[in-house]
Chain A
Amino acid sequence: MPKDGGIGASTKRREDIRFLTGKGRYTDDINLRGQAYAHFVRSEVAHGRIKGIDFAAAEAMEGVVKVFTAADFAGVGGIPCGWQITDKHGKVMLEPKHPVLADGKVRHVGDPICVVVADTYEQARDAAEMIEIDIEELPAVLDMKAAIEPGGTLVHEEIGSNLCFDWGFVEENKAAVDEAFAKAAHVTTLELVNNRLVANPMEPRVAVADFESHSDQYTLYTTSQNPHVIRLLMGAFVLGIPEHKLRVVAPDVGGGFGSKIYHYAEEAFVTFAAKVVKRPVKWTSSRSEAFLSDAQGRDHVTKIELALDAENNFTAIRTDTYANMGAYLSTFAPAIPTWLHGTLMAGNYKTPLIYVNVKAVFTNTIPVDAYRGAGRPEATFQLERLVDKAARELGVDPVALRRQNFITEFPYQTPVAVVYDTGNYHATMDKLLEISDHAGFEARRMESAARGKLRGFGIAHYIEACGIAPSNLVGQLGARAGLYESATVRVNATGSISVYTGSHSHGQGHETSFAQVVAEMIGIDAAQIDIVHGDTSNTPMGMGTYGSRSLAVGGSAIVKATNKIINKAKKIASHLLEAAEGDIELKDGKFTVAGTDKSVDWVGVTLAAYVPHNYPLESLEPGLEETAFYDPSNFTYPSGAYGCEVEVDADTGQVTVLAFSAADDFGNIVNPMIVEGQVQGGLAQGIGQALMENCAYDENGQLLSGSFMDYAMPRATDLPMFNVDHSCVTPCTHNPLGVKGCGEAGAIGSPPAVVNAVIDALIRGGHDVKHIDMPLTPSRVWAAING
């Protein structure tokens, strides 16, 4: 095996060459001959009734091809939701219609009302200025608790309530949980907000579609993390296009972080409009438009309680969460505060009884869905803030309280359905204390104090569930999709290999790491292997990339398909070598008869497969190409200990992150360089959530943070160098690579570590502060200090 090409090597990324030379091909770089440009006219009010739309003047303007309104979409399906939750009374969730263009009512600022299609982008935008929309403004539904009081304004009149569902988990445990609280020696309570965020991948969304009338063939190029999912949702549920007539291509995609999972109205629009106007139609989101139209993240309001016995053992956890759905159900929105949140409430602790209540609420805000971590950051934040608070109330060391309650035996059945296969939480905690020089903290604190600054150290330990997911399980939980992954391995006659994967890379480096896996298995140079992704016309039906699933699920499909290749290649080799198949060994790209020096190399076998002159044709098909679908039998459970060291300026409330250390257990690792990069990026987003980022609406539902001038994105000056370690390894027991997934960990574990650090600094500085809601901006910290 070439040293830098196999599993475990920090192979440099091959995709970098095109990105570093300006040769990347992102969706906005694609222009189709004769394309027209779409410009969306969006609601300027959060809630209102559309009384009339006058677009005659706009349609008469130079270059304008057509103005579309909801009337054009009569007979077209709405944007579907991909997950149905059954509530604690056994009732299915309320599922309002989500039309492609607002029909009768607008329900959030940015809700699309009509679209101008014109020869140029400028003409479309100029014509949009001429459209007159008469809207009767209605009161905006914003506060979640008020929204579900009877008699209030309804976001969707036809469903009769703003309460989408009221989910109890595990409902049968509720009485036992309440009883444990009644008997507790100590109860710690915390009320908190998980602030709404905007994913903001640097590439805004783009969609360009074409329709060929001679073949009835549609092609959609779109910024998606999962082109097959878009093809299925849009083809089957919105536009009624059969899959074989619809090709969806997600070329180079400039980051996603969840926000490019979902099927959006703009994709359906351009695909539909291309047929109507008989020419390709392109839409490119501006950043301002992205703030108004990309699904947003988090936005939970929670009360959580922890019951402890007299020895400080956790005996029960009870939570009460309001989860904001926004104005419509985005593709996976109902799954986030439920199955991706409630099932993680055990964290790393052997709490025997847990009850989670989640009320999902419609409001006149932009829809909310998964954002990096998706439900798991919300669970981790609650739990790790709560445990820290409990330690303070009890006067015990927060590390010791965590250790005392750590799960130490695996597999571990949690009281919230999931079974952790492996982990070693003491090891990650030990590693964190080592790499963060926890022992030296007091000396550093004194040094800060000498400069008049408050220094604090905060710890969080997280668990997450990745590698989603067993299809039969998620089917029972309400998913309207399977969550397997697919791969086709096509070996060419001269031995090079094209791997077609259903996963999608939008920054994760699959083209490099997936090739490392195949190179290792066969023992050939990774340069002979290409990874192909992102086009439904050449990749097998796959579910795409999110939930840190690509290597654990997509990589497993590649392993499975490659094993099929190796098995067949061994049959061919046994024929060529005139030996029993069971005696053939594959090593370093060479097939050898065990115990002899008789061998045939990789190319000898691949050539024989395609030029089958000396070949067992009676028992074996020619060719060397295999497809596999891998459906995981469990989630994977990465875990880790994170430590944040901050300095607080008590005069201004300014928080500076001085150091951040992460000790993760991701199971086995294919490319350490890529893994470290994933963690660093996740940490930046988590620190951003904790200190800076906030998606805010005013009392009328106007988005206050609608650009990079008002929404604080972490910049290079806001962050330290990171101290990232992944040497603690408990391999996953149920996938062939023993991998767990690393994409979201950084964003999950870091917010509570940061907030715990700030609270620690303030308390050590003599300020009795129990909690501050994120983001911990200078004004909020200053206000907390000054009572």
Chain B
Amino acid sequence: MTKVTMTVNGKTVSAMTEGRTLLSSYLREGLGLTGTHIGCDTSQCGACTVHVDGVAVKSCSVFAQDVAGATVTTIEGMANADGSLSVIQQAFQDHHGLQCGYCTPGMVMASAALLASNPSPTEGEVRHYLEGNICRCTGYHNIVKAVLAASGQDVAAVAAE
């Protein structure tokens, strides 16, 4: 067992790991940050998406020891400092971009990474970027709307309801 230290949601934290401990289990079991979800065992679903040094990463595909010292943001670190929902979280609520909520942390983290690199994406670009995140509930319609709205675009015209 090796102690791994990193900065998670602005705090320096550490937990014991084996070589095979995934970043996802480091966060969930090691730190109790259960907002990061596990939806598959083949790195296909994106439910576990977090930011590592600002980049969206599927945390089930990374060993914790390989990202020792990194700066990690999880869904628990996405709200505003006063605890209110950030723009992107608020857009997911406003546009009903979630149902069961299981894919949601990964969707929010992936969407935030998209908007950081492409502040005003087209519908097609949103769909393409989120291809690695599976949602079984929403049919993606409202997720796409939420991301476009979070980017400041007028979504009234995106699709008739």
- A interface residues (Cβ-Cβ under 8 A, vs B): 12-13, 15-26, 28-29, 31, 122, 200-204, 252-255, 257, 286-288, 435, 506-509, 673-674, 676-678, 680-685, 707-709, 713-717, 719, 721-725, 746
Contact = CB atoms under 8 A, between A and B. Distances in A.
Contacts of B75: 20-22
Contacts of A717: 127-128, 131
A16 B142 contact: no
Interface stretch (B41-49, B51-59, B61-69): B41-49
B76 A22 contact: yes
A45 B118 CA distance: 49
A688 to B, nearest CB: 9
Q: Point out which of B18, B40, B130 has the most chain A C-beta atoms below 10 A from its C-beta.
A: B40
Given A24-B35, A722-B139, 8 more contacts: A20-B101, A22-B36, A202-B47, A254-B102, A507-B99, A674-B96, A707-B42, A746-B139
B126 A716 contact: yes
Given A201-B102, A257-B136, A286-B41, A21 B85 contact: yes
B143 to A, nearest CB: 7
Contact of A16 (B29, B37, B92): B92
A29 B44 contact: no
10 contacts: A20-B89, A20-B108, A22-B74, A24-B35, A29-B28, A202-B37, A287-B39, A507-B101, A716-B130, A721-B123
Contacts, number: 182
A254 B100 contact: yes
A713 B93 contact: no
B121 to A, nearest CB: 12
B86 to A, nearest CB: 9
Contact of B142 (A200, A253, A677): A677
B85 A255 contact: no
B13 interface: no
Nearest to B20: A122
Interface in B128-147: 128, 130-131, 133-144
Contact of A19 (B76, B79, B98, B131): B98
A68 to B, nearest CB: 23
B98 A16 contact: yes
Nearest to A710: B42
B17 to A, nearest CB: 12
Q: Point out which of B100, B140, B141 has the most chain A C-beta atoms below 10 A from its C-beta.
A: B100
Contacts of A287: 39-42, 45
A31 B76 CA distance: 19
A13 B102 CA distance: 15
B115 to A, nearest CB: 15
A435 B160 contact: yes
Contacts of A716: 126-128, 130-131, 133, 140, 143-144
B116 interface: no
Contacts of A723: 159-161
Q: Point out which of A681, A685, A725 has the most chain B C-beta atoms below 10 A from its C-beta.
A: A681
Nearest to A684: B139
Given A716-B127, A716-B140, A708 B18 contact: no
The 4 nearest A-B residue pairs measured at CB: A22-B35, A19-B101, A254-B102, A684-B139
Given A24-B35, A681-B99, A719 B85 contact: no
A13 B42 contact: no
Contacts of B151: none
A253 B100 CA distance: 7
B103 to A, nearest CB: 5
B44 A673 contact: no
B100 A202 contact: yes
Nearest to A724: B161
A286 B160 CA distance: 38
A717 B129 CA distance: 9
A509 B93 CA distance: 12
A553 to B, nearest CB: 20
A288 B18 contact: no
B34 interface: yes
A443 B101 CA distance: 41
Contacts of A746: 139
B9 to A, nearest CB: 10
Contacts of A254: 37, 100-102
B23 interface: no
Nearest to A715: B131
A26 B100 CA distance: 10
Contacts of B160: 435, 723
A21 B102 contact: no
Contacts of A15: 101
Nearest to A509: B99
Contact of A507 (B38, B41, B100, B143): B100
Contacts of A17: 85, 93
A401 to B, nearest CB: 28
B15 to A, nearest CB: 14
Contacts of A680: 138-139, 141-142
A22 B141 contact: no
B78 interface: yes
B65 to A, nearest CB: 15
A676 B138 CA distance: 10
A684 B140 contact: yes
Q: Point out which of B18, B74, B160 has the most chain A C-beta atoms below 10 A from its C-beta.
A: B160
Contacts of B99: 255, 507-509, 677-678, 681
A203 B134 contact: no
Q: Point out which of A21, A508, A713 has the most chain B C-beta atoms below 10 A from its C-beta.
A: A21
Contacts of B74: 22
B84 to A, nearest CB: 10
A203 B128 CA distance: 23
Contacts of B42: 287-288, 707-709
Contacts of B36: 22
Contacts of B45: 202, 287, 708
Contacts of B44: 707-709
A20 B40 contact: no
A12 B93 contact: yes
A21 B140 contact: no
Contacts of B38: 28, 204
B96 A677 contact: yes
B44 to A, nearest CB: 4
Contact of B102 (A26, A673, A681): A26
Q: Point out which of B89, B126, B136, B158 has the most chain A C-beta atoms below 10 A from its C-beta.
A: B136
Contacts of A203: 37, 39, 100, 102
Contacts of A674: 96
A674 B137 CA distance: 12
A529 B100 CA distance: 21
Contact of A21 (B78, B137, B139): B78
Nearest to B106: A202
Interface in B72-88: 74-76, 78-79, 85
Q: Point out which of B28, B93, B160, B161 has the most chain A C-beta atoms below 10 A from its C-beta.
A: B161
A29 B34 contact: yes
B33 interface: yes
Nearest to B135: A202
A506 B96 CA distance: 15
A506 B99 CA distance: 8
A288 B137 CA distance: 20
Q: Point out which of A253, A682, A716 has the most chain B C-beta atoms below 10 A from its C-beta.
A: A716
A716 B75 CA distance: 21
A680 B143 CA distance: 11
A685 B138 CA distance: 10
Nearest to A21: B79
B18 A122 contact: yes
A17 B141 CA distance: 20
Interface string B103-118: 1110010000000000
Contacts of A722: 139, 141, 159
